Amino acid sequence: MTVELSARFKPHLDLIEQHLLNCASPELPVSLREPIRYFLSMPGKKIRPLLALSACEVVGGNSRDALSAATAIELFHDFTLIHDDIMDQDELRRGYRTMHVEYDESTAILVGDAMIGMAYRYLIQSPRPYFESVVGIFTEALVKVCEGQALDKEFEKRSEVSLEAYLDMIGKKTAWLLKIACSIGATCGGANAEQVQLLSEFGDCLGLGFQIQDDLLDFVADQSKLGKQVGSDFRMDKKTYVALKYREILRENPALQEQYPLHIPDYPTFTDFQKALYELGIVEAVQGVADQYIRRALDALQQVAPLDDHNPLFAITRFLQQRQY
């Protein structure tokens, strides 16, 4: 996050951090408390809780009314990260050793489970008039994110995955959480049904653009900024938007297969594949798709509030669009 944006959201970030640190309660067994503290000490952008607090403000609410729900959303996100790292056997997260590497898989699973329980502890503190709606949105998201992760794992065994199927998967696994951050924040702010729908659409499109850009960063980012090993998707032969776009282009242009392998694992090195992505215009094309989703997000947002410096959701969107990690 830029220095300017961090300064702007510092009051919000400080409140979120304090709520999160309270999760590492002295009352917990040390075998649970210390791993929780370890994970929560990792630097992170805190985009999802910031979206919730900002959505609350944009519709005229007091962001403190969304603070408990925003904290719950961040814990939900952390729960997914810990379990995803186990499934993917990733060794780095935000520049730190992942939970199952620093401790062990059993501890990581337990911490993830505890975090989703703690998320509900915070969630039930939401304002009474909106309690039922907020809990319903959050619980449905928990199911959808698991559906998305199941599809992601299923794709590993499929020889063919369409771009449409991939978008459906990331819509559930990634975008859904940004979507509910906005809809829950707006709900806590007293938004009407149309505002909630528009901000939900904003979060959905923002999430899709965010994930597609994230896929691209795994191939083109500076590893020191990314906080994890660049090229992990290449080495695991993951079906990301970049990989699927590559195969689509080669299938549509069979002559290219004389120069470029159809199957990505046939590339001798990651650098060779990077070179092909630039030569085929895939980097530019994928960035264009991400930008298209961002534009759709802004189209929805401007129907709720002007796209200016006073709009915190606009500021967050610009940061995500320009990020390098």
What's the mean pLDDT in 132-137? 97
- The confidence score (pLDDT) of residue 90 equals 84
Counted domains in the chain: 1
What pLDDT digit, counting tens, does each position of 163-185 carry?
Answer: 999 999 999 999 999 999 999 99
Alpha helices, H only, 221-261: 223-226, 232-235, 241-252
- The confidence score (pLDDT) of residue 5 equals 77
Question: CA 251 to CA 249: how far, in whole Å?
Answer: 5
Which range has the worst mean pLDDT, 30-34, 89-93, 189-193, 237-241? 89-93
% pLDDT > 90, the chain: 84
Domain of residue 194, CATH code: 1.10.600.10
Read off the pTM: 0.93
- Evaluate whether 112 touches 122 at the Cβ level (below 8 Å): no
What's the mean pLDDT in 261-287? 96
- The confidence score (pLDDT) of residue 228 equals 58
The residues with which 93 forms a beta bridge, in sequence order, are: 96
- The confidence score (pLDDT) of residue 91 equals 87
Q: Which of 145, 197, 149 is nearest to 175 (CA)?
A: 145
- The confidence score (pLDDT) of residue 66 equals 97
φ and ψ at residue 43, rounded to 5 degrees: -70, 145
- The confidence score (pLDDT) of residue 261 equals 97
Q: What is the mean pLDDT of the chain?
A: 94
Q: How far is CA 7 from CA 2, 11, 14, 50, 227, in A?
A: 9, 8, 11, 13, 22
Could you tell me which residues come within 8 angstroms of residue 129 by beta carbon, excluding any fewer than 6 positions away? none
| Range of the structural domain that residue 30 is part of | 3-322
- The confidence score (pLDDT) of residue 232 equals 80
- Evaluate whether 53 touches 185 at the Cβ level (below 8 Å): yes
- The confidence score (pLDDT) of residue 227 equals 54
What pLDDT digit, counting tens, does each position of 199-248 carry?
Answer: 999 999 999 999 999 999 999 876 555 555 678 889 888 999 999 999 99
- The confidence score (pLDDT) of residue 58 equals 98
- Evaluate whether 192 touches 200 at the Cβ level (below 8 Å): no
pLDDT band at 88; cut points 50, 70, 90: confident
HSE-CB for 233 with a 13 A CA cutoff = 19
Structure tokens at 165: 């199927």
- The confidence score (pLDDT) of residue 39 equals 95
Q: How far is CA 59 from CA 138, 296, 310, 311, in A?
A: 20, 19, 13, 10
Structure tokens at 138: 């959050």
Alpha helices, H only, the chain: 3-8, 10-21, 30-40, 47-58, 67-88, 99-102, 105-123, 131-155, 163-170, 176-188, 193-220, 223-226, 232-235, 241-252, 270-279, 282-301, 312-322
% pLDDT > 70, the chain: 96
Structure tokens at 151: 């599809």
